[in-house]
Chains A and B, each alone.
Chain A
Amino acid sequence: MSLLDRFRTTVEAESFDTPRVQRLRKTAPTVHVVGLSLLFLIPGLLVALVIEWGSNRSHDEAALLLAIAVATIGGLALWFPTEPGNQLSTSSVFSSVAFSWIACSLVGALPYAAGSMFEWRQFDSALFEAVSGFSATGSTVLSDIEANGAGILMWRQITQFYGGMGMVVLAVTVLPALGVGGLALMTAEAPGTASDRLAPRVTETARTLWKIYLGVTVVVALLLWLIPGPSLYDAFAHALTTSSTGGFSPYNSSVGHFDSWLVESVIVAGLFLCGMNFALHYRALRGDVRGYARSSDTRAYVAIIVGAIVVATLVNWLVGVRDTAGNALDVTFAGSIRDSTFNVVTLASSGGFGNARGADSLGNFVLWAPQLQIMLLLIMVIGGSVGSTAGGAKVFRAEVAFKHSVRAIRRIRHPRGVLPIKLGEQSVPNDIVHRVIGFLTTFLLITVLGAMVIAATGAPVLESISASISAMSNMGPALGDAGPTSNFLVFSRPARAVLTVLMMIGRLELFAVLLMFATPSASIRDARARRQRRRARHSPR
């Protein structure tokens, strides 16, 4: 019998079945998943360490080693003595996911705070950068990205790669014991994938998703490497944040650094594909290419992107764009197509890359006509497809909400009629409709609340609203002074703390974060009830 098994047997023994142990058993799945998620960070940190070692720009190996040590010790300490069991309660699911993300973000921020990127007293900025990475948002508080070492910057890219598909989905790949609980975990972290179960076993589904994700990343990396310009490092760095629709780049001017339409085309194609449901990619790989056309969600996603590209191209070309000094820029039709396509796709898929060649170029979308910027805000909110790595409220939900509104008006004519909401040929059940409108209302309320708090810290109205939307949709850039050629240093530290929370809430699609304290609070409630029962037993009648 191994040491682990002996320990577990001892814990499960009748003699140890005290209320405290019972409480621990209730939180064991959460602790186990958190530990496992931390352990999965180690390969990424090791890759970054090796690159940092070879880098001649900076030497933050110690910071990366510290993070590896914390992830190893912390991960083992949480994972080793606990067992997830095969029946996860709903509250455990949400707390597992949310606490995993918090733990990974804290450990992920260590290389930044312990290295030369930030000082320890700027841990909030390091945490912002880490959360922006894991949530695949892409907002940054670095004024000079290129001043940092290649290894640390690669870690920044890797955090987005982890966050794109999710650490918990990764954990599920090695948790064969999880049955329904595993599916719930995946749904809580990566909504949409569960409804499209790709294999009979949840573990297999999680593995398939990760394989597709890895495949897309490798293909994008190879294509970028084949193009003249990007090095192998650049290719992989950008591929990691393309497949995750994250948007981090090791360069100050993001993709604009290469000034290559070929690089932009590969990234646009990657972002476009990763903004679609991964289950459809899986089916396409198995020969069912028409699945894309059958999916009403995908049709709407493509229609939104194509429509927005056409409008942006025409408006930019016909109306023109003025630089920051107010002088008209020379906009050609080809240039307009290129920059409009790149920026629309990067925002619709919640990528957030920038292709501006300087602050006074067409790629800087804060210079575009106001009507286009409002359209971009709308696209940011809608986001990509369900089951993709993209953020935002998701096209499916926007469709359901719109049709639900139309149905409410149709009820004026048919007060007692049965009026189903249809997407394509399929009717959407009423409980899904309610879940969708619940989600959207919560999304809106949190976004408005976030914008109000950010504005209260002194940020202008436009920056507050757009940053709140951008964080909730995991977009990256905002409008105004927080545009694609700027950074989030324009916001005060309290505002950035709010944005950090919003990014996390947005990535986990609200419910996991909002319900993360359900398990601890249930434990506290149980303990209180037990105490009261005990007191009642001992008190004289």
Chain B
Amino acid sequence: MTGARVAEAFVDDATGGPTRLGVYGAATGIALGLSGIVLALSGAFAIGDENADAALLIVFALVCLGLAALQARRPFEARAMRPVPTLSAGVVVYLVVAAISTITYLATGSIGRVDDALYESVTGVATSSLTLLEDPQVLSRGMLIWRSGTQWIGGLVALAMAIGLLPFLGGSRELADPRSRGERRLALADRPVPALKRVAVMYSGVTVVVIAAFFVVGMGATDAVAHALSSVSTGGFSTHADSIGHFDSRAVDLVMIVVMAGAGFSLALVWMLYRGQFRDTRRVYELRVYGAVLVFASTWVWWLVDSDEGTGDRLIESVFTVVSLSTTTGHRVADWGSWHPGAEMMLLFLLVAGGMSGSVAGGLRWIRLVGLAQFVWRELQRQLHPRAVRSVKVGTASISEESIDRWHAQLVLTMVLAGTGAVALAFFGSDIVEALTLAFSAVSTTGPAMAEDGGTLVHAASLSRSDRAALMPLVLAGRVAITPALVAVSVVFIAVRRRFSANAFRRGLRSRS
């Protein structure tokens, strides 16, 4: 199949005109609004700082909020929410926030070069933790909040797309509702707008609770807010070069473990708990699998890691690293890149597998892996009983064949994207292990990887500009679960092709006349 035909297949050819623009306009408005709120928060934190970022951040916030308000006045047609434009619009939100962030970094002088600012912004909104800054303390307080805030926005948009929009656009309902009993009713809401509202409220509420928890265990205001923003979103940006290891506090480590693990849970599950539907949560098969994996992986890593630390510290390091990577957060308390190879392989597998469905975490998601394992079992049974009719089940729920098709496609696309990315990174100078781990880590939106000279690669300053350029599309595609990124690219491709063919047609008419 030619590239053009593949691309054409992604594009909704219904004549949309203003309706389609309406979706993109709404996406831009949402991006501006969210950026405005976080910029205002950053401006508030910058007020007492010696740095002069406060005024600039507040002005930016006002401009963003003003433009968002203008956009909000434009009527939005619900019927415009068709799969292709809506998925593309989701990508537009990320791009607009990344653009605003780039301008902010440049205008405040936090980062001098456009490409560096763009990299830090894209990494931020894509909730990857592979920062460009060796020591984030060079930034002002306000900019530290903004940097973590971009991750918070990225997490919110990912959640909104995963459980607020896609289930209503023909996507896998199993990914939105962890009960996955094949019910028509979804846990969070049965219509997009209430679902989106609940996502926003719960996400914000959880963030506030986490900020309070960090205060309690002794973090300062800036640290607590910045880490809460970047942890709830599974982003992983820290305000310190040593990440969470900087605090050297067991209490901080334990709270962070709980926060990261919670971020890897499905938001719909949290909603059920909030509503007191405990019986429903017990039926969540994916939760049991995910919990078992975290326990098994922590034990495995703890057993293999040879460390000078005491048993207790080693256990906390192991659990922290397992939870951090399995939720694709990327916070760190130890140099896991120099651990035992068996522990490293386990961690790499976890970061590719990711968190639960309907969570902020990236990666493939456990429900997909469990579903695919059940599918493999079904195919094995079919070898023995070719005429038997069996459905694929996760727990007690039957999974549709369409969902299995989509999950397998996701697996293949992840492999293809990471493989291509690894070749590109290796071409630009990384060695094989660094290129492969960096590519998979980027696609799962984790960030850190295994460095060429041993140890963990924790910041992108040691990478070349070409490497960073190759990483940006990988993290963005990974953040939107690849498919919307392909849809968006094809929309642009088809639009350009139509424009060229229309021009050629006009030229042909002129030459005839």
Contacts and interface: CB of A to CB of B under 8 A. Distances in A.
Contacts of B405: 404, 407-408, 411
Report the 9 A-B pairs with minimum CB-CB distance, sorted nearest first. Answer: A438-B379, A456-B342, A408-B409, A370-B426, A371-B426, A455-B345, A405-B409, A410-B9, A455-B341
B129 to A, nearest CB: 21
Interface string A425-469: 000000000110111111011001001100111111110110000
A389 B74 CA distance: 65
Contacts of A479: 432
A511 interface: yes
Interface of A: 90-91, 94, 369-371, 373-375, 378, 401-413, 415, 434-435, 437-442, 444-445, 448, 451-452, 455-462, 464-465, 479, 511, 514-515, 518
B384 to A, nearest CB: 5
Interface string B482-498: 01001100000000000
A464 B376 contact: no
Nearest to A511: B383
Interface in B61-86: 83-84
A452 B9 contact: no
A374 B345 contact: no
B37 interface: no
Given A434-B379, A437-B408, A441-B376, A412 B341 contact: no
B135 interface: no
8 contacts: A404-B408, A405-B412, A408-B409, A411-B402, A412-B84, A455-B344, A458-B340, A461-B345
B435 interface: yes
B384 A518 contact: yes
Nearest to B422: A374
Given A410-B10, A464-B341, A401 B412 contact: yes
B162 to A, nearest CB: 15
Interface centre among B9, B170, B424 (most CB of A within 10 A): B9
Nearest to A457: B342
Contacts of A444: 411, 415
B436 A374 contact: yes
B341 A409 contact: no
B380 A511 contact: yes
A444 B12 CA distance: 33
B193 interface: no
Interface in B394-440: 402, 405-406, 408-409, 411-413, 415-416, 419, 422-424, 426-427, 430-433, 435-437
Interface residues of B, number: 60
Nearest to B346: A452
Interface centre among A375, A378, A441, A444 (most CB of B within 10 A): A441
B426 A369 contact: yes
B433 A462 contact: yes
A371 B423 CA distance: 5
A403 B1 contact: yes
Interface string B216-227: 000000000000
A135 B499 CA distance: 55
A448 B437 CA distance: 14
Given A374-B435, A412-B87, A445-B373, A90 B380 contact: no
Contacts of B450: 461
B372 interface: yes
A4 B177 CA distance: 65
Contact of A370 (B12, B87, B341, B435): B435
Contacts of B349: 448, 452
Contacts of B382: 435
Given A406-B1, A406-B9, A458-B342, A374 B432 contact: yes
Nearest to B430: A370
A490 to B, nearest CB: 13
Contacts of A461: 341, 344-345, 348, 433, 437, 450
Interface of B: 1, 6, 9-13, 83-84, 87, 170, 300, 304, 340-342, 344-346, 348-349, 372-373, 375-376, 378-380, 382-386, 402, 405-406, 408-409, 411-413, 415-416, 419, 422-424, 426-427, 430-433, 435-437, 450, 483, 486-487
Given A441-B375, A452-B349, A461-B344, 20 more contacts: A90-B385, A370-B426, A370-B435, A373-B426, A375-B423, A408-B405, A408-B409, A409-B10, A409-B487, A411-B170, A412-B84, A413-B12, A440-B412, A455-B345, A456-B340, A457-B342, A461-B437, A464-B345, A479-B432, A515-B384
A510 to B, nearest CB: 9
Contacts of B344: 455, 461
Contacts of B437: 461
A451 B373 contact: no
Contacts of B379: 434-435, 438-439, 442
Contacts of A511: 380, 383
B10 A374 contact: no
B384 A90 contact: yes
A455 B342 CA distance: 4
Contact of B376 (A371, A403, A438): A438
Nearest to B12: A413
A369 to B, nearest CB: 7
Interface of A (DSSP majority class):
helix
A252 B432 CA distance: 27
Contacts of B423: 371, 374-375
Given A370-B435, A405-B409, A412 B348 contact: no
Nearest to A479: B432
B305 to A, nearest CB: 12
Contacts of B348: 461
A413 B83 contact: yes
Given A404-B409, A408-B406, A452-B346, A94 B383 contact: yes
B340 A438 contact: no
Contacts of A373: 426, 432
A438 B408 CA distance: 9
A409 B486 contact: yes
Given A409-B9, A409-B486, A455-B341, A371 B384 contact: no
A130 B146 CA distance: 62
A373 B422 CA distance: 11
A371 B427 contact: yes
A387 to B, nearest CB: 19
Given A370-B435, A374-B419, A412 B375 contact: no
A50 B426 CA distance: 51
A143 to B, nearest CB: 23
A300 to B, nearest CB: 12
Given A404-B405, A438-B379, A412 B342 contact: no
B411 A459 contact: no
Contacts of B433: 461-462
Given A410-B10, A412-B170, A461-B345, A90 B386 contact: yes
Contacts of B408: 401, 404-405, 408, 437, 441
Contacts of A413: 9-13, 83-84
Interface centre among A370, A407, A409 (most CB of B within 10 A): A370
Contacts of A375: 423
Contacts of B409: 404-409
A415 B403 CA distance: 12
B6 A406 contact: yes
Contacts of A515: 380, 383-384
A336 B419 CA distance: 24
A457 B437 CA distance: 20
A413 B6 CA distance: 12
A518 B383 CA distance: 11
Contacts of A465: 345, 436
A445 B83 CA distance: 32
B422 A412 contact: no
Given A401-B412, A442-B376, A445-B373, A412 B419 contact: no
A451 B345 contact: yes
Contacts of A404: 405, 408-409, 412
A441 B372 contact: yes
Contacts of A410: 9-10
